[in-house]
Amino acid sequence: MGKFIFNKTDINGLYVIESVAINDNRGYFMETYNYNDFKQAGLDMVFVQDNQSKSKKGVLRGLHFQRKNPQGKLVRVINGEVYDVAVDIRIGSPTFGKWFGIVLSSENKKQFYIPSGFAHGFYVLSDEAEFVYKCTDFYAPGDEGAILWNDRELKINWPIDNSVGVILSEKDKLNPSFSELYT
């Protein structure tokens, strides 16, 4: 049995990846990344930076991207649950402006591979969530771009908990719309 199941999405390049966990009375063990297995699945990228964040329920981070130094990301949740979204911003792509969302949690142990050329964000569903991701390029502070999380054109179906709402950074409150960036 393989260590990973690579599930393609309807958007070229996006993958939901399931690691096969070995469970016993002590708990579980699983690989979360193996260069050879990923390469065999057609995901031949090199990661140069790992990041981790902790957020409380209702926090929405995104939709972020880098303009000149785009990052591919392999994301997962090690504690809690989030709704994770990627938006295709590859000009000329047949799925330009389309989005894909998935629940990632410490329970389902799913990972999401988002290649460069996508905006990315997530909304915290649990009381808190710890989110980790590997990046294919280094973070470049002057290279940041972002799209408004609730853009009317994108119509992302965020599962917002109305009792909590959405908690945004001051920066994310000012993000431009998709059409402001791409028309």
Is there a catalytic annotation at residue 64? yes
**SS3 category, 104:** strand
From 15, 113, 123, 133, active-site residue:
133
**SS3 category, 11:** coil
From 33, 35, 64, 120, active-site residue:
64
Please, what is the average pLDDT of the chain? 96
Which of 1 and 122 is assigned the larger pLDDT?
122
- Identify the pLDDT of residue 46: 96
pLDDT, one tens digit per residue, over 95-128 is: 999 999 999 999 999 999 999 999 999 999 999 9
- Identify the pLDDT of residue 4: 96
Residue 31 has pLDDT above 70, yes or no: yes
For the whole model, what pTM was predicted?
Answer: 0.95
Report the top-level CATH class of 4-182: mainly beta
Q: Tokens for 134, please give them.
A: 């590997």
Is there a catalytic annotation at residue 35? no
The domain locations on the chain are 4-182
**Cis (ω within 30 of 0) for the bond into 148?**
no
CA 71 from chain center: how many Å?
Answer: 11
